[in-house]
Structure 1
Amino acid sequence: MVSASWNWEPGEQMLLDLGSCREKYEWIEELHASADGEKIAAVVNVEGEFTACVNGENWEDTYDRVWGLQFSPDGRLCGFAQSMGEWYVAVDGATWEGPYGYAWHLLFNNDGSRIGCAVQQDMRYGMATEGQLWDTFYANANNFTMSSDGSSTAAAVQTIDMGQAETEKFAAGTYSVAVDGKAWDHNFVNVFGISFSPDARHVAAEVRSGMYDYTICVDGKMWDTTYQSVWTPVFHPTTQAVVAPVRQKGQWTLAQDGRGIWPTFVQCWHPQFSADGQHLAAIVSPKFGRWTVAVDGTPWNASFGDSVTHLAMSADGKRAAAVGKEDEKWSLLVDGKAWQGKYDMVYAPRFSADGAHVGAVIEKGGKFSYAIDGKEYGRSFEQCWQPVFSPDSTHVLLRCVENDKYYRRVVPVSEITG
Structure 2
Amino acid sequence: MSFAQSWDFTPGARVVVDDLRKCSREYEWLEEPYVSPDGETVAMVAALPDAEFSLAVNGEVWEETFDKIWYPRFSPDGRLTALVQSAGEWTMAVDGAAWEEQYGYIWNTLFSEAGDVIAAPVQIDGRYGMVANGTVWETLFENANMVALSRDGSASAAVVQVKSLAQADIETFQNGIFSVAVNGVAWDSIFVNCWNPAFDAAGKRVAATVRRTLYDYTIAVDGKAWEGAYACAWGPVFNPATGQVAAPVRKAGAWGMAIDDKMVWEPRFAQVWHPAFSADGSKLAAIVAPSFGVFTVAVDGTPWDATFPVVTDLAISPAGGRVAAIGNDQNTNFTVICDGKVWSGQYDMAWPLVWSADGAHLAVAVERAGRFTVVCDGKAYPQSFDKCFDPAFSPDGTKVLIRAIADGKLHRIVAPLTAFTG
Q: 8 Å contact 1:33–1:399 — kept in the other structure?
A: yes
Corresponding position of 2:389:
385
Using structure 2 for the length normalisation, give the TM-score: 0.96
Q: Distance in 2 between matches of 1:245 and 1:392?
A: 35
Q: 8 Å contact 1:19–1:405 — kept in the other structure?
A: no
Q: Distance in 2 between matches of 1:21 and 1:313?
A: 41
Residue correspondence of structure 1 range 59-70 to structure 2 within 5 A: 59-70=62-73
Q: Distance in 2 between matches of 1:386 and 1:136?
A: 38
Corresponding position of 1:251:
254
Residue correspondence of structure 1 range 261-340 to structure 2 within 5 A: 261-263=264-266, 264-305=268-309, 307-326=310-329, 328-340=332-344
Q: Distance in 2 between matches of 1:132 and 1:22?
A: 34
Q: Distance in 1 between matches of 2:137 and 2:21?
A: 44
Corresponding position of 1:27:
29
Residue correspondence of structure 1 range 111-190 to structure 2 within 5 A: 111-190=114-193
Deviations, residues 374-415 of structure 1 (Å, cap 9, x unaligned): 111111111111110101111000000011111111111111
2:119 is aligned with what amino acid? G
1:44 is aligned with what amino acid? A
Corresponding position of 1:416:
420
Mean alpha-carbon deviation: is it higher for 34-43 or for 213-222?
34-43
1:15 paired to 2:19: no
Find the residue that maps to 2:6 and give its secondary structure. coil
Q: 8 Å contact 1:141–1:155 — kept in the other structure?
A: yes
Find the residue that maps to 1:356 and give its secondary structure. coil
1:326 Cα offset (Å): 2.2
Q: Distance in 1 between matches of 2:181 and 2:32?
A: 34
Deviations, residues 260-302 of structure 1 (Å, cap 9, x unaligned): 1113311111111111111111111111221111111111111
Find the residue that maps to 2:420 and give its secondary structure. helix
Q: Distance in 1 between matches of 2:88 and 2:48?
A: 19
1:118 is aligned with what amino acid? P
Corresponding position of 1:197:
200
Deviations, residues 102-132 of structure 1 (Å, cap 9, x unaligned): 1111111100001111010000000111111
Corresponding position of 1:44:
46
Deviations, residues 114-164 of structure 1 (Å, cap 9, x unaligned): 111101000000011111110111111100111001100000000111112
Find the residue that maps to 2:4 and give its secondary structure. coil
1:12 Cα offset (Å): 2.2
1:346 to 344, 347, 350: 350
1:319 Cα offset (Å): 1.6
1:19 is aligned with what amino acid? R
Find the residue that maps to 1:329 and give its secondary structure. coil
Q: Distance in 1 between matches of 2:81 and 2:22?
A: 24
1:19 Cα offset (Å): 3.5
Deviations, residues 72-127 of structure 1 (Å, cap 9, x unaligned): 00000111110111111111111112111111111111000011110100000001
Q: 8 Å contact 2:230–2:251 — kept in the other structure?
A: yes
Q: 8 Å contact 2:24–2:61 — kept in the other structure?
A: no
1:361 paired to 2:365: yes
1:403 paired to 2:404: no
Mean alpha-carbon deviation: is it higher for 380-389 or for 1-10?
1-10
Q: 8 Å contact 1:22–1:28 — kept in the other structure?
A: no
1:417 Cα offset (Å): 4.3
Q: 8 Å contact 1:344–1:363 — kept in the other structure?
A: yes
Q: Distance in 1 between matches of 2:275 and 2:390?
A: 22
Q: 8 Å contact 1:2–1:391 — kept in the other structure?
A: no
- The Cα RMSD (Å) is 1.4
Corresponding position of 1:3:
4
Corresponding position of 2:229:
226
1:21 Cα offset (Å): 4.2
Q: Where do 5+ consecutive residues of structure 1 fail to align?
A: none
Deviations, residues 182-220 of structure 1 (Å, cap 9, x unaligned): 101111111110100111111000111111111100001
Q: 8 Å contact 2:21–2:30 — kept in the other structure?
A: no
Find the residue that maps to 2:207 and give its secondary structure. strand
Q: Distance in 2 between matches of 1:201 and 1:85?
A: 36
Q: CA distance change for structure 1 residues 409 and 344 in 2, over 3 Å: closer, same or farther?
A: same
1:2 Cα offset (Å): 6.1
1:318 Cα offset (Å): 3.4
Q: Where do 5+ consecutive residues of structure 2 fail to align?
A: none
* Number of positions where the alignment pairs a residue of Structure 1 with one of Structure 2: 417
Q: 8 Å contact 1:373–1:417 — kept in the other structure?
A: no
Deviations, residues 1-51 of structure 1 (Å, cap 9, x unaligned): 662221010122322211334994211112111111111111110112101
2:390 is aligned with what amino acid? Q
Corresponding position of 2:84:
81
